[in-house]
Amino acid sequence: MLELLDRVRANVESALFEIAEAAGISGRKPEEITIMAVTKTHPAEFITKAVECGIKHIGENRVSEGGRKIRQLGKEYAVFHAIGVLHRKEVRQAVRDFHCLDAIHKIEIIEELARRNADPLLLLEVNTSGEPAKMGFKPDVDLLESALGRALELKLPVKGFLTVGPLCGIPLLQRKAFSELRDIRDSLETRLKVSLPELSMGMSDDFTLAVLEGSTMVRLGRRLFGSREG
């Protein structure tokens, strides 16, 4: 499968170039932004190829599908992130298999994680686009302060936030969804006196806009591997 490897390598390089450009425009250093390869629906071999191209972070949106690939490759093969919304009955498996759980969307899940003494790093998902089909906490600083406060009280390692940008394709609105999350993060760092360095924002169609607004991790699927439909 040399062909797949070459394709992924070229795509990683061009994505890194675009990230560096966007970082430069916004006065940031390219090293502040990490690419996560999103390998959902693809076989474990795609994870191998991404890692061979220097990618260290792998995102899977389903706990069962991701868990299968992680066990196939070994948990130490990469840093594995669960980026899909986590249901209560999946918490046990997710805590065992993944290093990071990036889409915590309910206090109930926070409580369940604490009951299991979860050690994966956590991000809270916030629905900044307001699209009803999207999951996540409402972008309300008071609500998020109480969720985050509860997680910290329970000694859970929350590192920041994740959002999925709007589908509208209007750059101003896309940027607004990302800048809103950065503003929320800034307020909560001040209010709770904690460091929340991670902003997981941006996918294949909007990652440069997310980088302009402070993203620290872009989640790329189609941009690296082509369409998931085959």
Ligand X SMILES: *Cc1c(COP(=O)(O)O)cnc(C)c1O
Which residues sit at the interface with ligand X, rule CB under 6 A?
38, 40, 61, 83-84, 164, 203-204, 219-223
Residue number, 50 or 195, with CB nearest to ligand X: 50
Q: Which is nearer to ligand X, 13 or 153 (CB)?
A: 13
Q: Which residues pair with 201 in a beta bridge?
A: 163
Is the Cβ–Cβ distance between 69 and 47 less than 8 Å?
yes
* 126 Cα distance to chain centroid: 11
Tokens of 199: 């902003």
Using the minimum distance from each CB to ligand X, give the nearer residue, 182 or 223.
223
Provide the minimum distance between the beta carbon of 159 and ligand X in the complex, in angstroms, as a whole number. 16
Residue number of the CB closest to ligand X reads 221
**Nearer to ligand X among residue 35 and residue 158 (C-beta):** 35
Residue 38's CB is within 10 A of a number of other CB atoms, namely: 27
CB of 190 to ligand X, least distance (A): 28
Q: Tell me the residue type at 64.
A: S
Q: Which two structure tokens, joined as six digits, stand for 7?
A: 């394709």
DSSP 84: S
Nearer to ligand X, 135 or 192 (CB): 135
- Quick one: tokens of 71? 């066990």
Q: What share of the chain is helix, strand, coil (3-state, %, to 5)?
A: 50, 15, 35
Shortest approach of ligand X to residue 55 CB, angstroms? 13
| Shortest reach from residue 153's CB to ligand X, in Å | 27
